[in-house]
Amino acid sequence: MEQRKFGDTDISCSALGFGTWEMGTTQYGEIDTAEAIKAVQRAIEYGITLFDTAECYGPYTSEELLAQGLGNRRGDVVVVTKVGFRYHEGLRGNDAFAGRDASAEYITDRTEGCLARLDTDYIDLLLIHWPDHATPHEETIGALEGLKVAGKIRHYGV
């Protein structure tokens, strides 16, 4: 698998990435979690080192399954995840979405949740999934910079 530099970062990863949205939704049928975990492992065997997920995929399911699939290979791959949605707790799928939130407190809290679900100390690239126009950009960027300084994320974007 061809490896490439990731934008203007110090990260190198596979030219093809593995998206995990389907691992977190039942829109196309029930999820076979064992097969989803095997798919992640098989992708690594074939040289895929870029994995894209988001806490809203499920919500939470794809991050949890990705962590299980990566196991002790976390340091060998690049993980991208996304935050910025509020949820109605206890609901799944599209019914769970309660709106956008990129406030500093929410982004920081949600990132901690992503780290726990992904079973990792850092996220290579954290994205704000969809812009939150009600929160000043400076507030969001301040939170992201704080997470970067703390070593919890390596890079961020929208």
39-48: which pairs have CB atoms within 8 A and are 24 or more residues apart? 39/69, 40/65, 40/66, 40/68, 40/69, 40/70, 41/69, 41/71, 43/18, 44/70, 44/73, 44/76, 44/77, 46/1, 47/1, 47/14, 48/1, 48/14, 48/16, 48/17, 48/18, 48/77
57 is catalytic: yes
pLDDT per residue, tens digit, the chain (158 aa), is 999 999 999 999 999 999 999 998 777 788 899 999 999 999 999 999 999 999 988 888 999 999 999 999 999 999 999 999 888 877 776 777 888 999 999 999 999 999 999 999 999 999 999 889 999 999 999 999 999 999 999 999 99
pTM of the shown model: 0.93
From 57, 60, 87, 106, active-site residue: 57
Q: What tens digit of pLDDT does each residue of 91-130 get?
A: 776 777 888 999 999 999 999 999 999 999 999 999 999 8
